[in-house]
Amino acid sequence: MAHDTQQRLSQSGPLEIYWQSAEKPILALDALAKLTRQFANKPDFRQLVQTILFTLSGQFSLSDSFSILQKPGDPDQKGIFTATGKFSKSRLLQSIILTPELRRYFLKHNSPSLVSELNLPDLCSGFAPILSDCGVILVYPVVHNDKLLGIIGLGERVTQKPFSSEDIELLDISLRIVTPLIASAYHFHEMTSLSAWHLDILNNVKQGIFVFDVENRLRKVNATGFNILKRFNPKLDDVVTLQGMLIDEIFPNTKFKNWARRFVKANVENRGKVTEGLVTNVEGVEYIYEAYLTGISGDSEFQTDFIIALDDVTERKRAEEHERELQRKLERAERMESLGVLAGGVAHDLNNMLGPLVGYPELVLMKLSENSPVRKQVQRIAKAAQEAADVVQDLLTLARRGCYEMVPTDVNEVVQTYIDSLSFAGLTEKHPDVAVKLKLDRSIDKILGSAPHLSKVFMNLIVNAFDAMPEGGELFIETLQQYLESLESGFDKIEHGDYVIVRVRDNGMGIEPKDLDRIFEPYYSKKKMASSSGSGLGLSVVYGVVKDHHGYYDILSSVGHGTEFILYFPTIKKEIQDKPEAETMMGGKEKVLVVDDVDDQRDLASDLLSSLGYRVETASNGREAVEYLRNHSVDIVVLDMIMEKDFDGLDTYREIIRLHPGQKTVIFSGFSATDRVEKMQKLGAGPYIRKPYTREVIGKAIREELDKEPIATHS
Amino acid sequence: MDEQNITGHVLTDETLIVKPGKMLDNNNAHVMVETITSAQAKGYKFIIIDMAGLEFLSSAGVGSILGTVETSREIGGDIILCNVSDTILHVLKVLDLAGFLTIKSTEKEALTLCGIES
């Protein structure tokens, strides 16, 4: 067709005159028709506009032309600039923005105009001079459906000939032909850009977005959604393969499939939002999702589509669970702490009352003849008092205020000693159907601990294990050592390092999950109190002792299958040597000042120390002691910690060492205020001895302190 | 699409010959512009467009050449058409461009104009 036209144009003959007047418009229209055909099916906006400019340039003998096409209603945005010739380098033309005033003007004057004849309103009067300066001769508004799409500007003709009225008419006709094409290409360009923009947004959200049509076939999935699906099906390699797949096929995992069906049902019945918690496993790893279903509303053809947004909340849920567990532990610790304060207070009073009951029977027995008829009764008093003192000690341990001596301790030895004890023998005798398996790792390091307290811990756990297997079973006790960075449960943050681990496991009845958080509370027991231990403080003591040893614990329990207590104790370095045995010598002739505000306690101490040969002086409070020492000196002071509130053991000691720097002192109390005791010891005081005490305990403590090198004085 | 190919052949540091295929129209007008402007940017003063094989030249094709002429002339060079068929010459005449464009009958004449003796 195009060839034909040019062939015809080249002909000469009878129709030559006709062709000469008509050939230019025919050539123009032929070019535009070809252009329309070309771009109708391939609306490449930029190429279309450029080709139109080339065509106009060729048709009207121009070297320079430009167009600015701008989104209607968005006047602040720069339009799309296209140009030929020198206009393509003009920054001034590129900077043009079609203001609302210009838009209104061009809509009103919808035809080609010579720039020199533009009659612009004041607000945009600067526009024409800009065009003139750039060499623009003619400007044409591109109007489609009463909306201004932009303008096309043409420069001077290369032939220097002015535009004739016929030229302007032909230009008008030509541009009216291509304007609908420009409009549709422009809208297509806008839609494509918008679509790409939406896709960019979709691909950058952290949720997996799946858009399904009314037949439940996948229309669109974003990058996150594709990655979620890849998690379940690593073989997926191209999102295109998912297009058009049914929702059932998209989520092939059984759980996903059931879940997807519920969604389809929900979509049919109710197009509102649905939220689901979805947990699924991929090769043992659990993933948790929250899903949202939303319908597309509006008048578009997509209104029957629905969107599923999958949010991977695995990390968040894990963090929340961790947080809850920490909170439970904190609450448990706080409960234990307040119970401890109560128990500690009771223990203090009881200890003071028990002091004479524990101490005097020894003195009485010393004075009684071997055949005395009351000897047995006194021994019973002593035994009962000692048992009562043990219970109080449990209370103190529970209060975590038992200042027991921590020395390098072999846990295996503690366990073995208990296993060899009569107490354990009694248990096995009582439970003949329980098989005991002991596996002690002989290579474990020592821990810094108190053997009697650790023994109590193991005893309590073992007794509980026996009680949990009334029908028989297996008790497994194991020690081992491991370098740990976390516990089995993973909930406690622990100091990294080597730990001696003690496992006590039974296959008995197990513990209900609801009870697990409270089993360490005093008297929170599911056992009958008449059972083996019976104090109701067993696990509370375990808790307190483990914490005092800077240890941790885990409990793994399953109802009907058994319970395992795992205790973790930090090891100490091997080079720390065992503390050598102290001399057992108790007596002496030195002068002792006993300071205690409780008469019975003061008398008891005085009597016990006198019986050991010491010369004893007494003071009934701190101030009296200080007053005495202003004019006297003693070899050692036996100082009660808790006395008057405004002048306790620490206050007294401070005054004493001002008078007698380096004064040897032993601290006694039924209720230790640990920080104040520590302060005293930092100032130079000797050991702390817990009330009630026996003659042997007080004798050894004083003897050891007296035999020590003189105390370095603190200024 | 050989008929729409546009090829360039370097003759000297200042001269390049561009040969369009059978057609220079909407489809390849932008390629012609890119070819010429790229050569101009590289310093070629003279660009000879050898139209020996060209059978159809659309308005867009003409426009693509027109927009580049001034740049060459500003630096003392030119865009020279040669081997222009009668049909195409007629089109250029209809568009009133025969006097504006430098048109030579043969490549030799075009080269002579560029100062190259064959």
Residue spans per domain, chain A: 2-193, 205-312, 323-398, 407-570, 591-707
Question: Taking CB atoms and an 8 Å cutoff, what residues of chain A touch B33?
Answer: 54, 84
* pLDDT score for A399: 62
Q: How confident is the model at residue A462 (pLDDT cuts 50, 70, 90)?
A: very high
Q: Is the pLDDT of residue A569 over 90?
A: yes
Strands annotated E in A492-646: 497-506, 552-558, 562-570, 591-595, 615-619, 636-640
Higher local confidence (pLDDT), A20 or A343: A343
Closest CA to A390 of A349, A351, A334: A351
* pLDDT score for A473: 93
Q: Matching CATH topology for A205-312 and A407-570?
A: no
Radius of gyration of chain B (CA): 13
For the segment A94-110, what is each residue's pLDDT rounded down to a tens digit?
A: 888 888 888 889 988 88
Question: Taking CB atoms and an 8 Å cutoff, what residues of chain B touch A51?
Answer: 26, 29-30, 60
Quote the CA–CA distance of A636 and A711 in Å, as a whole number: 12
Quote the CA–CA distance of A230 and A221 in Å, as a whole number: 12
Question: Taking CB atoms and an 8 Å cutoff, what residues of chain A touch B27?
Answer: 38
Q: Which helix (H) or strand (E) element contains residue A219? A: strand A218-221
> Is A181 in the B-facing interface, judged by CB distances under 8 Å?
no
Instruction: Locate the chain B residue with the closest alpha carbon to A57.
Output: B63
Q: Is the pLDDT of residue A12 over 60?
A: no
Quote the CA–CA distance of A349 and A671 in Å, as a whole number: 8
Q: Is the pLDDT of residue A686 over 50?
A: yes
Q: Specify if B104 maps to a domain.
A: no
For the segment A42-64, what is each residue's pLDDT rounded down to a tens digit?
A: 767 888 888 899 988 988 888 99
For the segment B52-95, what is each residue's pLDDT rounded down to a tens digit?
A: 999 888 888 999 999 999 999 998 999 999 999 998 998 888 88
Angle (deg, nearest 10), helices A451-467 and A375-398: 90
Choose among A3, A51, A85: nearest Cβ to B67.
Answer: A85
Give mean pLDDT, residues A230-245: 79
Closest CA to A171 of A212, A116, A121, A112: A112
Eight-state DSSP code of residue A711:
P
* pLDDT score for A579: 45
Q: Is the peptide bond before A72 cis (omega within 30 degrees of 0)?
A: no
Choose among A24, A58, A159: nearest Cβ to B62.
Answer: A58
Closest CA to A677 of A406, A403, A407, A404: A403
Give mean pLDDT, residues A167-192: 83
Quote the CA–CA distance of A688 and A669 in Å, as a whole number: 8
Lowest mean pLDDT among A20-34, A70-84, A236-250, A570-584: A570-584
Quote the CA–CA distance of B36 and B40 in Å, as a whole number: 6
Whether the complex's predicted ipTM is more than 0.85 is answered with yes
The answer to whether domain A2-193 has CATH 3.30.70.100 is no
Instruction: Locate the chain B residue with the closest alpha carbon to A37.
Output: B26
Burial of A69 (0-12, 13-18, 19+ CB in 10 A): buried
- Do A58 and B58 make contact, defined as CB atoms within 8 angstroms? yes
Which A residues, 72 through 131, put their C-beta within 8 Å of a C-beta on chain B? 84-86, 88
Lowest mean pLDDT among A12-16, A254-258, A662-666: A12-16
Instruction: Locate the chain A residue with the closest alpha carbon to B36.
Output: A85
Q: Are A577 and A408 in contact (CB under 8 A)?
A: yes
CA dist A241 to A210, A224, A250, A676, Å?
14, 16, 10, 75
Choose among A24, A38, A50: nearest Cβ to B94.
Answer: A24
Quote the CA–CA distance of A327 and A329 in Å, as a whole number: 5
Q: Are A79 and A148 in contact (CB under 8 A)?
A: no
How much of chain A exceeds pLDDT 70, in percent?
Answer: 83
- Do B70 and A85 make contact, defined as CB atoms within 8 angstroms? yes
Choose among B25, B55, B59: nearest Cβ to A27.
Answer: B59
Question: Taking CB atoms and an 8 Å cutoff, what residues of chain A touch B64?
Answer: 54, 57-58, 84
* pLDDT score for A317: 83
- Do A54 and B29 make contact, defined as CB atoms within 8 angstroms? yes
Domain A407-570: homologous superfamily in CATH: Histidine kinase-like ATPase, C-terminal domain (3.30.565.10)
Candidate CATH numbers 3.40.630.40, 3.90.1010.10, 3.10.180.10, 3.30.450.20; the one for domain A205-312 = 3.30.450.20
Quote the CA–CA distance of A374 and A352 in Å, as a whole number: 25
Candidate CATH numbers 3.40.50.300, 3.40.50.720, 3.90.1640.10, 3.40.50.2300; the one for domain A591-707 = 3.40.50.2300
Give mean pLDDT, residues A31-49: 78
* pLDDT score for B32: 93
Give mean pLDDT, residues A518-522: 73
Closest CA to A438 of A468, A407, A465: A465
Q: Are A154 and A134 in contact (CB under 8 A)?
A: no
The per-residue pLDDT of chain A, averaged, comes to 80
Q: How confident is the model at residue A152 (pLDDT cuts 50, 70, 90)?
A: very high
Indicate the Cα dihedral angle A504, A491, A407, A681, nearest 10°. -150
Q: Is the pLDDT of residue A404 over 90?
A: no
- Do A7 and B87 make contact, defined as CB atoms within 8 angstroms? yes
Quote the CA–CA distance of A28 and A34 in Å, as a whole number: 10
Question: Taking CB atoms and an 8 Å cutoff, what residues of chain A touch B96?
Answer: 61, 159, 161
Q: Which helix (H) or strand (E) element contains residue A45? A: helix A45-59
Q: What residues make up the domain containing B47?
A: 2-85
Lowest mean pLDDT among A152-166, A262-276, A310-324, A676-690: A262-276
* pLDDT score for A577: 44
* pLDDT score for A656: 92
Q: How confident is the model at residue A13 (pLDDT cuts 50, 70, 90)?
A: very low
> Is A27 in the B-facing interface, judged by CB distances under 8 Å?
yes
Q: Which helix (H) or strand (E) element contains residue A140? A: strand A136-144
Q: Closest approach of chain B CAs to the CA of A82, in angstroms?
A: 12
Give mean pLDDT, residues A350-363: 82
Question: Taking CB atoms and an 8 Å cutoff, what residues of chain B touch A158?
Answer: 66, 69, 97, 100
Q: How confident is the model at residue A400 (pLDDT cuts 50, 70, 90)?
A: low
pTM of the entire predicted model: 0.46
- Do A55 and B63 make contact, defined as CB atoms within 8 angstroms? yes
Choose among A9, A62, A84: nearest Cβ to B91.
Answer: A9
Indicate the Cα dihedral angle A131, A132, A137, A142, nearest 10°. 20
**Residue A5: strand, helix, or coil:** helix
Place of tokens 């044409």: A140
Q: Specify if B41 maps to a domain.
A: yes
The number of folded domains in chain B is 1
Q: Specify if B92 maps to a domain.
A: no
Q: Are A221 and A242 in contact (CB under 8 A)?
A: yes
CA dist A540 to A510, A533, A550, A640, A664, Å?
18, 13, 15, 28, 37
CA dist A445 to A202, A408, A411, A634, A647, Å?
58, 9, 9, 43, 44
Q: Hey, which residues does A434 pair with through a beta bridge?
A: A473
Range of A128-132, A211-215, A358-362 with top mean pLDDT:
A128-132
Interface test with A, best of B59, B71, B75 (most A CBs within 10 A): B59
- Do A62 and B63 make contact, defined as CB atoms within 8 angstroms? yes
Q: HSE on the CB side for A134, CA within 13 Å?
A: 29
The answer to whether domain A323-398 has CATH 1.10.3470 is no
CA dist A149 to A41, A68, A106, B1, Å?
21, 8, 10, 34
- Do A3 and B69 make contact, defined as CB atoms within 8 angstroms? no
Q: Provide the number of CB pairs (under 8 Å) joining chain A to chain B.
A: 119
Q: Which helix (H) or strand (E) element contains residue B84? A: none
Which A residues, 134 through 173, put their C-beta within 8 Å of a C-beta on chain B? 158-159, 161
Lowest mean pLDDT among A286-290, A374-378, B101-105: A286-290
Quote the CA–CA distance of A267 and A265 in Å, as a whole number: 5
For the segment A268-296, what is each residue's pLDDT rounded down to a tens digit?
A: 565 555 566 666 666 677 778 888 777 76
Q: What is the CATH number of the domain that holds B26?
A: 3.30.750.24
Quote the CA–CA distance of B17 and A90 in Å, as a whole number: 28
